[in-house]
């Protein structure tokens, strides 16, 4: 039997770390560098690993099937002159093809034997090459349905938006080695865009930001400076009113104020968040501190006044937009899935740039409570918007019903966006720097990287987010006394009490900037445990959030919980249920056929609602009477709507005391 050394299986020093999204170029401003998808592996036993496996087995194939059945692929065939199909779907339907391509390429980075996905990538890339025009232009809508309008409606055409998603798919292709042909297609289009909009070209911006971050990423892949310069030019041109009033006004299009001068987030939430991601990308690559300062200033605004307790963004259905400060109605929450994904991507970039734990905290909150809820347990049904309350008798129809997840949408931006995030999920777990390794998201995983010039492996075992115990084993072959390095473990902002032990012995390690940091020479096989206390928390909103005044939300660990009609006795209406503030709220672990491993049990009371719509206070005291006690069960919000359709609420009214 041949005996292999550990170094035969671990990542070699200097191994590629760019196999993943948003990888800053060498020399860019930044505190941390990401690990590659091939360096961070999620085991299918853990929740994150199960999500990624479901994405590969169910969500991605479902997206591919719908690209064919809904006409997206047929549009490209028509643009290539190989079909007489009339254009089908939204005029930006090409972007859904590109997001699905990106998802497939991230998945193939760790599952190269998936013949179905490889065939999708190869055949679709070949079709794109045939559909591309001689000058590099590629957009099926403006090729077959409106060739005379090419480049004429920058506020609404989404031409640069679609190009951005093509470029991001190509970046995934370049970083994984999955399709050099796709990189060539995207670069031909990108070169045309540079020629048209570059320093001596047309002064214009896209009504839907996305191209900015894509061009920065293409620069990172290729080192071709004109791509980065154009990304910066697009940022510099915003806020000059170049798009005119358009359909919804300049705020909607992010063209109302220069990006460096903005003091609050506004307008269409996805557009705003994609723009912010681009600002960070360009800021770290050019060293432009004003862009990074503006991004952090806007972070303060959005997360202190305009973000839901779940991490969702966008309180207005009209324009899919941010509302006023503290305007966060739970039942009218829009909370578009794509906005949560954009927030995750923006916070990732800020984390890499600064190393600040608050950005990892927001990634975690969005992942568990604003992105995961959009996807059904079967991986093939989706929420576009994510309300925090569904009322009894909710009136709605079609895609705006919000009562159930749908298999697809006429504007299908969210399903492939979910697919590309879940496919790249391992790349967000940990980072490294010159001094060591940092772990930001907890899950069953194996991390292989180079630290201090030698291979290091960290095995992570945990039942997070249901348990707060994270067990780690460090394998460092060849460590010497003079070569200590630091392992940093995030202590989430929601955690007030934690414990750390190394080799079975408790050690006193303070939290510094959101992390406990252990610096030592790591003997092979060193074990350590981080125990995060997970008591149930009853959260209240800022008093200015009028819509939920007098209510609490229940949370445990990173997970927000909700009440569902499915857990109430027959005849009890959800809106008549109040939480008893004197009763304890406790976590209960169980083997549940519905896949809900941890529920919260609480004491509640029925409200004495009566028939009157309005009641004088002098007739009933300080509020409605509270009636019989009631046992309540709260389930993770991200799992709501999987058992049956029916009312749900995150914010629960508190019963009167005394």
CB contact at 8 A, 244 and 204: no
Beta bridge partners of 457: 448, 475
H helices of 546-595, in order, are none
293 phi, psi to nearest 5 deg: -65, -40
Alpha-carbon span 554 to 651, nearest angstrom: 8
Residue 320 annotated to the active site? yes
Residue carrying the six token digits 């320093």: 199
> Which of these is catalytic: 413, 414, 495, 551?
413
CB contact at 8 A, 105 and 37: no
What radius of gyration, in Å, describes the C-alpha atoms of the chain? 25
Sign of CA dihedral 593, 596, 598, 604: negative
Helix (H, G, I), strand (E, B) or coil at 86: coil
Alpha-carbon span 273 to 336, nearest angstrom: 12
CB contact at 8 A, 20 and 424: yes
Q: How far is CA 435 from the centre of its chain?
A: 28
Tell me whether strands 536-539 and 598-608 are parallel, antiparallel or unpaired.
Answer: unpaired
CA separation (Å) from 355 to 304, 359, 448, 488? Answer: 20, 8, 20, 11
Taking alpha carbons only, the member of 652, 655, 549 closest to residue 606 is 655
Alpha-carbon span 469 to 457, nearest angstrom: 19
Could you tell me the two tokens for 388?
């925090």
Taking alpha carbons only, the member of 142, 179, 174 closest to residue 158 is 142
Give the Cβ contact number of residue 50 at 10 Å.
16
Give the Cβ contact number of residue 6 at 10 Å.
14
Cβ-proximal residues to 241 (8 Å cutoff; 6+ apart), any chain: 250, 255, 256
Residue 413 annotated to the active site? yes
> Which of these is catalytic: 107, 320, 475, 564?
320
What is the DSSP secondary structure assignment for residue 371, as one 8-state letter?
A: I
Taking alpha carbons only, the member of 281, 280, 276 closest to residue 292 is 280
Q: How far is CA 319 from the centre of its chain?
A: 21
CA separation (Å) from 352 to 22, 36, 48, 307, 427? Answer: 9, 14, 21, 22, 12
Sign of CA dihedral 464, 465, 466, 467: positive
Query: Please, what is the end-to-end C-alpha distance for the chain in angstroms?
Result: 75
Sign of CA dihedral 555, 556, 560, 566: negative
Q: Which residues are catalytic?
A: 320, 413
């Amino acid at each position: 039997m041949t005996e292999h050394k550990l170094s035969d299986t671990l990542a070699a020093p200097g191994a590629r770390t760019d196999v993943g999204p948003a990888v800053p170029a060498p020399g860019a401003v930044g505190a941390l560098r990401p690990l590659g998808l091939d360096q961070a592996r999620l085991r299918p036993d853990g929740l994150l690993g199960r999500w990624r496996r479901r994405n590969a087995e169910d969500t991605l194939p479902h997206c591919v099937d719908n690209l064919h059945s809904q006409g997206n692929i047929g549009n490209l065939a028509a643009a290539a002159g190989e079909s007489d199909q009339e254009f089908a779907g939204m005029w930006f339907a090409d972007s859904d093809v590109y997001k699905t391509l990106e998802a497939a390429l991230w998945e193939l980075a760790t599952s190269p034997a998936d013949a179905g996905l490889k065939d999708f990538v190869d055949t679709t890339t070949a079709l794109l090459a045939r559909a591309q025009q001689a000058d590099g232009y590629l957009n099926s809508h403006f090729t077959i349905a409106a060739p005379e309008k090419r480049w004429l409606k920058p506020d609404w055409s989404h031409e640069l938006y679609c190009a951005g998603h093509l470029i991001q798919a190509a970046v995934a292709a370049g970083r994984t080695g999955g399709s050099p042909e796709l990189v060539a297609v995207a670069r031909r289009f990108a070169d045309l865009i540079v020629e048209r909009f570059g320093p001596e070209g047309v002064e214009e911006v896209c009504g839907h930001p996305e191209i900015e971050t894509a061009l920065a990423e293409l620069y990172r892949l290729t080192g071709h400076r004109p791509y980065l310069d154009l990304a910066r030019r697009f940022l510099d041109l915003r806020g000059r009113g170049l798009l005119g009033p358009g359909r919804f006004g300049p705020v909607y299009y992010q063209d109302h104020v220069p990006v460096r001068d903005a003091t609050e987030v506004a307008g269409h939430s996805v557009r705003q968040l994609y723009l912010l991601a681009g600002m960070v990308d360009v800021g770290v690559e050019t060293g432009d501190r004003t862009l990074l300062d503006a991004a952090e200033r806007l972070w303060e605004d959005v997360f202190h006044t305009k973000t839901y307790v779940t991490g969702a963004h966008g309180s207005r259905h009209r324009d899919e937009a941010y509302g006023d400060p503290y305007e966060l109605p739970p039942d009218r929450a829009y909370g578009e899935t794509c906005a949560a994904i954009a927030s995750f991507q923006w916070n990732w970039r800020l984390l890499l740039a600064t190393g600040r734990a608050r950005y990892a905290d927001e990634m975690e909150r969005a992942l568990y409570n604003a992105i995961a809820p959009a996807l059904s347990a079967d991986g093939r049904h989706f929420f576009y918007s994510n309300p925090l309350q569904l009322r009894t008798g909710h009136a709605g129809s079609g895609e705006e019903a919000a009562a159930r997840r749908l298999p697809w949408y006429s504007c299908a931006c969210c399903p492939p966006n979910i697919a590309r995030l879940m496919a790249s999920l391992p790349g967000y777990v940990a980072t490294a720097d010159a001094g060591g390794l940092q772990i930001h998201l907890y899950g069953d995983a194996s991390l292989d990287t180079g630290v201090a010039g030698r291979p290091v492996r960290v095995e992570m075992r945990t039942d997070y987010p249901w348990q707060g115990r994270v067990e780690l084993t460090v394998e460092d072959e060849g460590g010497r006394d003079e070569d200590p390095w630091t392992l940093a473990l995030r202590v989430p902002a929601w955690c007030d009490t934690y414990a750390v032990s190394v080799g079975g012995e408790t050690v006193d390690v303070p939290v510094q900037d959101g992390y406990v940091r252990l610096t030592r020479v790591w003997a092979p096989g060193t074990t350590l445990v981080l125990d995060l206390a997970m008591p149930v928390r009853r959260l209240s909103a800022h008093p200015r959030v009028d819509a939920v005044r007098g209510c609490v939300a229940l949370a445990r660990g990173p997970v927000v919980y909700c009440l569902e009609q499915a857990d109430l006795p027959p005849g009890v209406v959800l809106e008549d249920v109040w939480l008893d503030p004197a009763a304890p709220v406790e976590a209960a672990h169980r083997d549940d056929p519905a896949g809900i491993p941890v529920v919260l049990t609480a004491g509640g009371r029925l409200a004495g609602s009566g028939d009157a719509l309005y009641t004088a206070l002098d007739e009933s005291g300080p509020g409605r009477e509270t009636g019989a006690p009631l046992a309540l069960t709260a389930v993770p919000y991200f799992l709501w709507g999987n058992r049956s359709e029916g009312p749900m609420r995150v914010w629960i009214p508190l019963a009167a005391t005394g």
